[in-house]
């Protein structure tokens, strides 16, 4: 009886792994890399740069996405609005999108901030860019402002994580896996089937109260989240997210760069009071814009985000 149970479990696990691998292959054919690659601190970063080279004299903007995301969150609605008069560079964070991250690489916020700072240095831009960060990418942008301020001219935060969260939002609790063995096992067995079953509910919560765009799966890169790599990287990032935030929060008054922020009052992932108002209390010069809507403002509120970025580049 025990042997039969073991065989059944192995067969089920093998079938799930085959389905997961097949799904990942189909997703990457539908959404292949669209930019260039650069090696930074052992990470292979995938990025899209619409500039012509170091002599491009347009104001430069570097965009960093949030937890479980990738560059399509910015290219969906924002890139076309800014690229006529800005040099826009969007990057897949380590382990996200089509970027890779070594198994032994740290994933804490300040470590990722160091990667982004080195990435900006390697671009050899004619002058420091504005750094835009969404959600977890906002925490990383603040890390750059704290530890590598010479690499950027200012920070624009979109629905940014700025302070520790004792518990993750309910829809992200499945990512809270600390054992990498367990994380890999879930990634290659249950994560992809569960994404098919719960994907719409998760997206409704992440976007809500705004609707999910009909083209988000492809134009917004949503399908890339079905891969086991995406689940594992998001789990690693979420588990490490709070490691640096308490010490960072104590240092926020030291930030001398201009910081602009936009938040939506209806955000179901990060509360604007705990992350926007709390940051403003430590940075009185912070310009905080509040609008109606949810968490995915780069996709759902491109007009307001474009205005934020344009104002920030003019004042940086």
CA gap 78, 93 in Å, rounded: 18
pLDDT at 13: 56
Q: pLDDT of 10-31, one tens digit each?
A: 445 567 888 899 999 999 999 9
Quick one: 249 exposed, middle or buried, by C-beta within 10 A (0-12, 13-18, 19+)? middle
Alpha-carbon dihedral sign for residues 152, 154, 158, 159 = positive
What are 94's two structure tokens? 């380590």
Q: Which of 73, 77, 56 is nearest to 64 (CA)?
A: 73
Confidence of residue 41 (pLDDT cuts 50, 70, 90): very high
Q: For residue 198, what pLDDT is reported? A: 86
| 292 three-class SS | coil
Over the stretch 92-151, which tens digit does the pLDDT of each residue have?
999 999 999 999 999 999 999 999 999 999 999 999 999 999 999 999 999 999 999 999
Helix (H, G, I), strand (E, B) or coil at 90: strand
Whether the predicted model's global pTM rises above the 0.75 cut = yes
Predicted local confidence at residue 7, as pLDDT: 36
- Residue 299: the pLDDT is 98
The answer to whether 201 and 287 have CB atoms below 8 angstroms apart is no
pLDDT digits (tens, 9 = 90+) for 117-126: 999 999 999 9
Looking at residue 50, its pLDDT comes to 85
Torsion sign (Cα): 135, 136, 140, 146? positive
**185-221 burial: b if 16+ Cβ within 10 Å, else e:** ebbbbbbbeebeeebeebbbbbbbebebbeebbeebb
What pLDDT band is residue 57 in, cutting at 50, 70 and 90?
A: confident
pLDDT digits (tens, 9 = 90+) for 168-214: 888 899 999 999 999 999 999 999 998 888 888 999 999 999 999 99
Strands 287-291 and 87-91: unpaired
pLDDT at 3 over 70: no
Residue 213, SS3 per DSSP: coil
């Amino acid at each position: 009886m025990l042997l039969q149970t073991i065989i059944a479990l192995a067969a089920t696990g093998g079938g799930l792994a085959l389905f997961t691998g097949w799904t990942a292959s189909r997703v990457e054919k539908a959404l292949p890399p669209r930019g260039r690659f650069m090696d930074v601190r052992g990470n292979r970063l995938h990025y899209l740069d619409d500039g012509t080279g170091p002599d491009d004299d347009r104001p430069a903007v570097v965009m960093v996405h949030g937890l479980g995301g990738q560059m399509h969150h910015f290219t969906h609605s924002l890139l076309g609005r800014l690229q006529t008069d800005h040099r826009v560079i969007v990057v897949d964070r380590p382990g996200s999108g089509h970027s890779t991250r070594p198994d032994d690489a740290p994933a804490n916020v300040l470590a990722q901030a160091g990667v982004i700072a080195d990435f900006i240095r390697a671009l050899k831009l004619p002058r420091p860019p504005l750094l835009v960060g969404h959600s977890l990418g906002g925490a990383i942008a603040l890390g750059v402002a704290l530890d590598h301020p010479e690499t950027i001219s200012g920070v624009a935060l979109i629905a940014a994580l700025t302070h520790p969260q004792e518990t993750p939002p309910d829809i992200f609790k499945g990512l809270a896996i600390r054992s990498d063995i367990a994380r890999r096992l879930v990634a290659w067995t249950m994560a992809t089937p569960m994404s098919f079953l719960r994907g719409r509910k998760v997206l409704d919560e992440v976007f809500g109260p705004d609707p999910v765009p009909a083209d988000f799966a492809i134009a917004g890169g949503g399908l890339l989240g079905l891969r086991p790599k995406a689940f594992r990287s998001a789990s690693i990032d979420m588990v490490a997210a709070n490691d640096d935030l308490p010490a960072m929060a104590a240092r926020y008054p030291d930030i001398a760069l201009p910081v602009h922020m936009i938040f939506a009052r209806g955000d179901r992932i990060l509360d604007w009071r705990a992350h926007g108002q709390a940051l403003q209390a430590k940075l009185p010069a912070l310009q905080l814009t509040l609008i109606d809507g949810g968490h995915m403002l780069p996709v759902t509120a491109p007009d307001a985000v474009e205005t934020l970025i344009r104002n920030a580049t003019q004042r940086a």
